[in-house]
Amino acid sequence: MGKSYLLDTNAILDFMGDKLPAKARAIFSQIVDDQINISVINKIEILCFSFVEQDLIDFVNYSNVFPLDDHIVTKTIEIRRLYKKIKLPDAIIASTALHYDLILITNDKDFENINGLKVESPYDLDDVSTENDSQDFEDLLNTLA
């Protein structure tokens, strides 16, 4: 079984905005093709923009959105107490990744010091092992339209 990932908002926006280098974009596409995992916080952050493009709405609708539950709340409280620099939304995202044992893909350096949290930058993606080889995300969006 391959690695599982939680995608942070900044990584999603860089991917959807075509800002990633070609190799990193190809690897990110593999991750997206396998399964898109986001926190409810990421959903809120993406959809609250005053102008949200349909492809971002489709991305969120296609995603597996992890809700805020008691386990994540408890872990969030622990993180906020231990790491004063971490903002509440980021603590919820980190707690979600920890609770579900997911690798967090983010550009935010604040996550790197959280004990036990596995973090990768979307710009530094090397290789991923995913469960299946499915169509490119762009093709998927076309089928959703």
User: pLDDT for 99-140, tens place per residue?
Assistant: 999 999 999 999 999 999 999 999 988 655 544 434 444 554
Signed CA dihedral, 13, 15, 19, 24: sign only: positive
User: pLDDT for 13-50, tens place per residue?
Assistant: 999 999 999 999 999 999 999 999 999 999 999 999 87
- pTM summary value: 0.84
Rounded to an integer, what distance in angstroms lies between the CA atom of residue 121 and that of residue 61?
Answer: 24
User: pLDDT for 59-94, tens place per residue?
Assistant: 999 999 999 999 999 999 999 999 999 999 999 999
CATH number of the domain to which 107 belongs: 3.40.50.1010
Rounded to an integer, what distance in angstroms lies between the CA atom of residue 26 and that of residue 125?
Answer: 9
Q: What is the pLDDT of residue 99?
A: 98
What is the total count of domains within the chain?
A: 1
What is Dmax (Cα atoms) for the chain?
Answer: 44
Q: What is the pLDDT of residue 142?
A: 52
Q: Which residue range(s) make up the domain with 113?
A: 5-143
Rounded to an integer, what distance in angstroms lies between the CA atom of residue 5 and that of residue 37?
Answer: 6
